[in-house]
Structure 1
Amino acid sequence: MHIKRLTSGWLGSLICLLAGAVIPLSFAPFNFWPAGILAPPILALLLIDQPRGRSWLRSLLFGFGLFGAGASWVYISIHDFGRTPIWLALIMTGLFVGFLALVFSLPFYLFRRWFTPDKTTILIGFPAVWVLGEWLRSWLLTGFPWLYSGYAHIDTWLAGWAPIFGVYGLSLFVVTTGCGIVWLGLQLRGKANQSNHTNIAPPTRLQFAIPAALLVVIWGGGALLEKIEWTHFNDDDKVEIAIIQPNIPLEVKWNPFYRTHILDTLLALSEPHWDADLILWPEAAIPLMYSEADEFLAEVETLAAHHNTALISGIIFDDREQLKYFNSILGLGAASQIYFKQRLVPFGEYVPLEKYLRGLIEFFDLPNSIIHPGPRNQHNLQTADYAVAPYICYEVVYPDLVAANLDSAELMLTISNDAWFGDSIGPLQHFQMAQMRALENGRYMIRGTNTGLSGIISNKGKIETSGSQFVQEAVIGTAYRTHGSTPFSKIRSYPTVIFCFAILLALILRRSWQ
């Protein structure tokens, strides 16, 4: 089919919607990473020489396909656990996906407005806009940093770049790869200078060689960088881990009738593993406020101290003086300190526009939607020999937050309660993001959840051991305290973001000089 026909009318818009919906196939649990390479340049081609209004509509449809296929699992928490009627849950899910699609579309509307879509702009400008769009989604209105293209490449050669440039750098290379492949294909077939709907000039040999060389550098460089050991450990750095996965249904989690049963379950699952160096309980594992849990915490503190075990658990901390509640991680026994979650989940932990929304429907009154954010620059959890960098649930999907809070910690851990998303693909995507954080920072990541997946991830982002979803179990394994640091843990995402802005500035100046 001729490219001009594909870019005309409703057919091109439909292809944008479908191309966006294909991208989630590149992430867990499908892991068909070529889909994430080939879909973005389809959007680039279908924006060429289109009116601004149509360009915006197509990027909006692409975003709706991306988040509709990849993030609509929020329906489960809205309907199943928020007890929202089906019709209203569908509307709210649609509004959520539509808002994300709108945020996704804005950079591409500006891209079409400010840039002439010649071969250079498509090859380097479009990937830069894509990455800046991902970066925008990391902070706008607290952010939703989900479905970044780079996450699909934990196990490809591109993973070698992650300890240097992080997930944004991988996204830049992914989209550049796609644009380079498509552009080379068009040149080889002679389509670039045959199509009368574009102003792309016939390529010279040098122009043909540049994208080919770029692909070799991106993928070959990644393969070589994988061999570098940015961080190191030895046998003395071994830490025996027991991750307790209690699999407590959300329906009974905060019901006082089940409180004793839940506490007994945590202790019974932990009992065979007091010889472990570290026992991890999941997010808000203790179904009591901190001020109400004195007796239980004293019992656990005594058990853990007697066995010289670091027990780390999630608990809701209530500040009675300030009437504030914090989602926190507490160290007991051989561990100490308490950490308060900084990045909160909208509607799940707090309600935006609370005075207008709370009480309208049950979803806006979820039991945890009273949480306050913790302060910045908190201390890591401590044991006698090492520090552990803690992250609660949603925080682990923020690459710069994780790197900024790492400090001198030799281990990382994250706790969560992904039961809110049932048996959808959401928890599997979440686990994959934790893998990327381990790879970026060269640290072992211990992940404990209520219903799964719980597991241990190596400093190379590989899964060392993992449990099963919706199973009550203890996941046993070994982690290592790692020393040294990766470039990313020091410089974070700033160089990649600045580089993308510099590319766009250069293209704007180039256009003004023509």
Structure 2
Amino acid sequence: MIQNRLIRIPALIAIGALQTLAFAPFYLWPAALLSLVLILLLCTGREAKPLFRDGWFLGLGLFGSGASWVYVSISEYGMTAAPLAAVMTLLFAMGLALFPAIAFWCWGRLAGSHTGRSLWLFPAVWVLMDWVRGWLLTGFPWLYAGTAQVDGPLAGWAPVLGVHGVTFITAATAALLVAAWRHYRSAPYWAPIAFTAAALLPWLLAPLINLVEWTQPQGEPLSVAAVQGNISQHDKWDPEKLREQIRIYRELTEPLWGRDLILWPETALPATQGQASRVLDALESRAFKAGTTLVTGLPWYGNSPRYPEPVFHNSLMTVGPGQGTYHKQRLVPFGEYVPLESLLRGTIEFLNLPMSVFRPGPENQSPLAFDDTSTHPAICYEIAYADFVARNAGETGFLMTVSNDAWFGRSLGPFQHHQIARMRALETGRELLRGTNNGITSIVDREGRIRTRARQYERDVLKGEIQPMTGTTPFMATGSWPVITLAAVMIVFGRQRRKRNTD
């Protein structure tokens, strides 16, 4: 165990950053497992206070590297000076690092100095930390170790246990391997063999589980297209550039009429439904004539049951034979709304980003309907919420998500976002149509594999087919609750008991 802080702190930061290599665009899924093994070798059996520091530095490494794309949004598009943007990005990573810091403090309190108890509790503490991070303060459901397994051997478990379940298996594997290592050359001789066998078991079962077809094709495939306008983020909300943007999308769309579905990305129309009424009417007429449903993103403005005055929603609207409008429910803090708005709005330019005044849409919205099938869409960040997507995927034929990842430039963000979307397809056993402004626009099959994709950072059109599916995966039926309950039970029965004072 490394005790020298001059060595230990950089080592912890590096071990945390190692997990970033597990995700896109690196796809080195063993890096997540290796990182967890190194964490256990370095941290098992320590007291709560030093574990708080350990967890914080690990988190700083993970989020400082894995979420570094935040800097692009703040600096380049938030019009914030580079030094201030760097400080804000660092503060963001430092804040997120509090999640593993607090989790590790709890780990130390629950396990004490007992090595076996520490190893037993680690998978439970780790997955509960991820789960809390996914919903507290609207959540940051990003950089879960299980997500990397959409490209790894544990992929078969995703439709059964979801991303948190796959993360749990990864963390449990690390704990069992460390347990086997610690029992090497010690009695009983069979212990390291048993621990190693237990660690390998879920990895060997995963390919067999992957053979199960949880969902089945329903009806004929839909001919679809996704239009990628590649509009510069600097031009997107410029009123003088509105006509040009509409022209680009209409020209790219013209050869596509006659398909079942055409998808434009998030806020492809940077104008409300009222401001763009003439354009929408023209598209409506063209869509009905061609028998094609067009789905476009736009900022919707009007009365909403949840609010006393008219509000903006980040929305998707169907044009043509299809039916439905969807208002985004899970908003991005500071990007789509400003927490403590009355205090923070206007303090720096970043807090005045275009359309940072959205309000969340109502719950239990109806799916978008297309002939004999339907989809409950996810706008941008919403696709990262596993239980949200799984719950809404019931009774629908395929997944649809739109985004504008131009906010992240040529960083890790668009690749990670796309990998997360692919995990949702795998969890629900449904094919996915993803439309973006500048990539990654793609069609993903029900096993999370990319069937076809548009050229990234270019103006392009993606054409293909989507096969509607029917059926329910185990994860869709239960959500993450079995894994979260298991983690809680492990903590209840595995925690250190405090001695009662009988005096």
TM range (shorter): over 0.9
Write the distance in 2 (CA, Å) between the matches of 1:276 and 1:510.
Answer: 64
Unmatched tracts of structure 1, length 5 or more: 191-201
Write the distance in 1 (CA, Å) between the matches of 2:200 and 2:109.
Answer: 31
- Superposed, 1:358-397 pairs within 5 Å as 358-397=345-384
Which deviations, in whole Å up to 9, do the C-alpha atoms of 1:267-318 show, x marking residues without a partner?
1111111121110000010121112121111111111111111111101100
Write the distance in 1 (CA, Å) between the matches of 2:414 and 2:63.
Answer: 15
Q: Does residue 263 of structure 2 align to residue 280 of structure 1?
A: yes
Write the distance in 2 (CA, Å) between the matches of 1:8 and 1:492.
Answer: 43
Cα gap change, 1:341 to 1:512, in 2 (>3 Å): farther
Which deviations, in whole Å up to 9, do the C-alpha atoms of 1:424-469 show, x marking residues without a partner?
0111000000000000001111100001000001111110111121
Q: Does residue 152 of structure 2 align to residue 147 of structure 1?
A: no
Which deviations, in whole Å up to 9, do the C-alpha atoms of 1:178-209 show, x marking residues without a partner?
22223323433x4xxxxxxxxxxx55245334
CA contact (8 A) 1:43 1:59 kept: no
Write the distance in 1 (CA, Å) between the matches of 2:393 and 2:84.
Answer: 41
Q: Does residue 338 of structure 2 align to residue 342 of structure 1?
A: no
Matching residue of 1:197: none
Matching residue of 1:302: 285
Displacement of 1:210 in angstroms is: 3.4
Q: Does residue 395 of structure 2 align to residue 432 of structure 1?
A: no
Partner of 1:376, secondary structure, is coil
Cα gap change, 1:42 to 1:216, in 2 (>3 Å): closer
Matching residue of 1:220: 204
Q: Does residue 394 of structure 2 align to residue 407 of structure 1?
A: yes
Write the distance in 1 (CA, Å) between the matches of 2:363 and 2:393.
Answer: 12
Write the distance in 1 (CA, Å) between the matches of 2:55 and 2:226.
Answer: 43
Write the distance in 1 (CA, Å) between the matches of 2:176 and 2:497.
Answer: 21
**Aligned with 1:319 (options 261, 286, 302):** 302
Partner of 1:284, secondary structure, is coil
Q: What is the TM-score with the length of structure 1 in the denominator?
A: 0.93
- Superposed, 1:416-427 pairs within 5 Å as 416-427=403-414
Partner of 1:104, secondary structure, is helix
Ranges of 4+ aligned residues in structure 1 off by more than 4 Å: 509-513
- Superposed, 1:47-196 pairs within 5 Å as 47-188=43-184, 190=185
CA contact (8 A) 2:426 2:447 kept: yes
**Aligned with 2:453 (options 466, 473, 476):** 466
Displacement of 1:490 in angstroms is: 1.1
Partner of 2:56, secondary structure, is helix
Write the distance in 2 (CA, Å) between the matches of 1:346 and 1:117.
Answer: 39
CA contact (8 A) 1:313 1:330 kept: yes
Write the distance in 2 (CA, Å) between the matches of 1:34 and 1:123.
Answer: 20
Write the distance in 2 (CA, Å) between the matches of 1:313 and 1:414.
Answer: 11
Cα gap change, 1:376 to 1:150, in 2 (>3 Å): same
Matching residue of 2:493: 506
Residue 455 of structure 1 aligns with an amino acid whose one-letter code is: S
Residue 25 of structure 2 aligns with an amino acid whose one-letter code is: P
Matching residue of 1:290: 273
Residue 232 of structure 2 aligns with an amino acid whose one-letter code is: P
Moved more, 348-357 or 171-180: 171-180
Partner of 2:73, secondary structure, is helix
Matching residue of 1:196: none
Write the distance in 2 (CA, Å) between the matches of 1:250 and 1:152.
Answer: 29
Moved more, 248-257 or 45-54: 45-54
Displacement of 1:237 in angstroms is: 2.5
Matching residue of 2:342: 355
* Identity value in percent: 39
Displacement of 1:14 in angstroms is: 2.4
Residue 338 of structure 1 aligns with an amino acid whose one-letter code is: T
**Aligned with 2:34 (options 20, 31, 38):** 38
**Aligned with 1:485 (options 449, 461, 472):** 472
Partner of 1:413, secondary structure, is strand
Cα gap change, 1:115 to 1:186, in 2 (>3 Å): closer
Residue 456 of structure 1 aligns with an amino acid whose one-letter code is: I
**Aligned with 2:216 (options 211, 232, 237):** 232
CA contact (8 A) 1:123 1:211 kept: no
Unmatched tracts of structure 2, length 5 or more: none
Write the distance in 2 (CA, Å) between the matches of 1:24 and 1:423.
Answer: 16
Write the distance in 2 (CA, Å) between the matches of 1:453 and 1:77.
Answer: 17
Displacement of 1:7 in angstroms is: 4.2
Matching residue of 1:29: 25
Write the distance in 2 (CA, Å) between the matches of 1:112 and 1:297.
Answer: 59
Residue 287 of structure 2 aligns with an amino acid whose one-letter code is: A
Write the distance in 2 (CA, Å) between the matches of 1:209 and 1:119.
Answer: 18
Q: Does residue 238 of structure 2 align to residue 255 of structure 1?
A: yes
Moved more, 456-465 or 208-217: 208-217
CA contact (8 A) 2:45 2:111 kept: no
Cα gap change, 1:251 to 1:280, in 2 (>3 Å): same
Residue 112 of structure 1 aligns with an amino acid whose one-letter code is: G
Write the distance in 2 (CA, Å) between the matches of 1:379 and 1:79.
Answer: 38
Moved more, 289-298 or 424-433: 289-298
Residue 58 of structure 1 aligns with an amino acid whose one-letter code is: D
Write the distance in 1 (CA, Å) between the matches of 2:4 and 2:110.
Answer: 21
Matching residue of 2:224: 241
Partner of 2:376, secondary structure, is strand
Write the distance in 1 (CA, Å) between the matches of 2:270 and 2:176.
Answer: 53
Q: Does residue 442 of structure 2 align to residue 451 of structure 1?
A: no
CA contact (8 A) 2:69 2:412 kept: yes
Residue 113 of structure 1 aligns with an amino acid whose one-letter code is: R
Q: What is the TM-score with the length of structure 2 in the denominator?
A: 0.95
Displacement of 1:104 in angstroms is: 2.2
Moved more, 127-136 or 207-216: 207-216
Displacement of 1:51 in angstroms is: 4.1
Cα gap change, 1:116 to 1:210, in 2 (>3 Å): farther
Write the distance in 2 (CA, Å) between the matches of 1:441 and 1:35.
Answer: 26
Residue 310 of structure 1 aligns with an amino acid whose one-letter code is: T
Which deviations, in whole Å up to 9, do the C-alpha atoms of 1:108-139 show, x marking residues without a partner?
11111221354543443101111011001001
Write the distance in 1 (CA, Å) between the matches of 2:270 and 2:257.
Answer: 22
Matching residue of 2:192: 208
Partner of 1:352, secondary structure, is coil
CA contact (8 A) 1:7 1:46 kept: no
Displacement of 1:86 in angstroms is: 1.2
Partner of 1:276, secondary structure, is coil
